[in-house]
Amino acid sequence: MSLQDTQGLSVSSDDPEIVGRLDEFDRSFLSYGKTAAAAWEAAERAPAQPLVAAKAAALALFMQTGEAAANATRFLDRAEGRLAMALPRERLWHQAVRAWAKNDLHGAIGLHEQIVREFPRDLAAMKLGQVHQFHIGDAEGMLRLAELARPANDENPYLHGMRAFALEECHRLDEAEASARQAIAMLRREPWAHHALAHVMEAQGRAAEGLETMLGFSDCWADCNSFMLTHNWWHAALFAIDCDDPEQALALYDQRVWGVWKEYSQDQVNAVALLARLEFVGLDAGGRWQDLAQYLEPRLHEHVDPFLDLHYLLGLARAGYDASAQELLTSMAEYSHVAGDPVWHGVALPLGRGILAYGRQQWDEAFRQLRLGLEGIAGIGGSHAQRDLFHWLMLEAGWRAGRGPEIRPLLQIRAATRPGIARHRRELARIDSAS
């Protein structure tokens, strides 16, 4: 017997409690809520149900720890005996999450795209496919998946929020803003649409408007999970920096960005990236790097993805934990050899070597290695705004290495594309005064 979930999709279960908890996982996943653990609750009740096992395993993988893949595999293995009797969508979910647990993101993406083609009302499948595309830097794929789901979900604000972010990452900024505002008009408390709107305004240098906009929506984030809560505040802090108010950004770091869930990878990434940007504009981080680094040291050998490792490495290097930073970089090199992934070898390792050199104040080496790694940086995942951290590291290393003529054209592009940001003009003036 099968029941239907709130999207009208069949689930091979006669237990309304199971279907309700799967619905709760989906709602929390799409809205960045705090109740995604409903998938684990469902797994306690029906561990062999394939869709339950798949979503419980997905939640385990979202923990982004060294044990996440093994934990996910245990959930998936419990349902193996029931796969032959499962519904087609359930088998596809199980296969897709299994591929993710094996770090086969391209395989997982293909399966999620198949789910969306055959079951377009499954927005959780679309969202997870977009997550994987984001992690490999496939913005066009993110948009393709959103457009595939759009006809069946045009009334759903979460669809428009996901489409907005994909459009922004494809540099289609006006369309992205329209889609984000459409989502917000349908549901004001749509945090991913707030996030997409922040990206558009950041890309266009609309700092004062962006700060006002994010502060205006901040009352909506209290019920968000730690990633969405801290990340939207992170965007507000970036706007404060661009408004030449780094003290406000530092206050947001202390009060909103760092401290919600210090053990979580994404909260750590937000903290590293914000502290580094604050240093770029002259603020002293004090003991904040050391506070952060104690949560990064246990992660030296995880290698969930290069984007995370590079942030951990920067945090350790800036904290003065040179031995731990070196150990992480060495471990990254060993993992790169085993994984055989060109992104790890050709992008992550040069960036990592540049970051370690930056921490050691070896400015010329930092500049050279960072510039080399930046050539393929989209492959490490993350958004344009997040990856910009590594561009700024390269620019700062270049300035300190006396490479003003080489970095000046890059700063000119920034000043031209974001004319409202005074910092870019000051950076240019600093180079000119040193000539």
3-state secondary structure of 4: strand
Cα angle 238-244-248, degrees, rounded to a multiple of 5:
60
Mean pLDDT for the chain? 97
Share of the chain above pLDDT 70, in %: 100
Biggest CA-to-CA distance, the chain: 77
pLDDT the model gives residue 57: 99
- pLDDT of residue 435 exceeding 80, the answer is no
Strands 3-4 and 10-11: antiparallel
- pLDDT of residue 5 exceeding 80, the answer is yes
Distance CA 40, CA 365 (A): 47
Distance CA 183, CA 186 (A): 5
Token pair listed for 52: 């339950």
3-state secondary structure of 361: coil
- pLDDT of residue 219 exceeding 80, the answer is yes
Mean pLDDT of 189-208: 98
3-state secondary structure of 10: strand
Q: How confident is the model at residue 432 (pLDDT cuts 50, 70, 90)?
A: confident
Find all residues with CB under 8 Å of 340, minimum gap 6, and list them: none
Question: 């003991």: which residue's tokens?
Answer: 287
Report the range of poorest mean pLDDT among 272-276, 293-297, 415-419: 415-419
Contact present, 315 and 356 (Cβ < 8 Å): no
Q: What is the dihedral of CA 224, 316, 277, 221, to 10 degrees?
A: 10
Contact present, 93 and 119 (Cβ < 8 Å): no
Q: What is the DSSP string of 214-250?
A: HHHHGGG-TTS-HHHHHHHHHHHHHHHHHTT-HHHHH
- pLDDT of residue 304 exceeding 80, the answer is yes
pLDDT the model gives residue 430: 86
Q: Angle at which helices 191-203 and 173-186 pack, to 10 degrees?
A: 150
**Residue among 316, 343, 403 nearest 103 (CA):** 343
Q: Output phi, psi for 219, to 5 deg.
A: -65, -15
Token pair listed for 408: 């000046």
DSSP 263: T
Distance CA 356, CA 269 (A): 17
Q: Output phi, psi for 30, to 5 deg.
A: -75, -30
3-state secondary structure of 345: helix
Taking only the tens place, the pLDDT of each residue in 314-359 is: 999 999 999 999 999 999 999 999 999 999 999 999 999 999 999 9
**Where does residue 209 rank: exposed (0-12), middle (13-18), buried (19+ CB within 10 A)?**
middle
Q: How confident is the model at residue 434 (pLDDT cuts 50, 70, 90)?
A: confident
Share of the chain above pLDDT 90, in %: 97
Distance CA 326, CA 329 (A): 5
Taking only the tens place, the pLDDT of each residue in 391-431 is: 999 999 999 999 999 999 999 999 999 999 999 889 898 88
Token pair listed for 374: 């930046």
Taking only the tens place, the pLDDT of each residue in 87-139 is: 999 999 999 999 999 999 999 999 999 999 999 999 999 999 999 999 999 99
Taking only the tens place, the pLDDT of each residue in 145-184 is: 999 999 999 999 999 999 999 999 999 999 999 999 999 9
Token pair listed for 394: 């390269």
Rg (CA), the chain: 22
Q: Output phi, psi for 35, to 5 deg.
A: -115, 20
Contact present, 355 and 362 (Cβ < 8 Å): no
**One-letter amino acid of 278:** L
Distance CA 102, CA 91 (A): 17
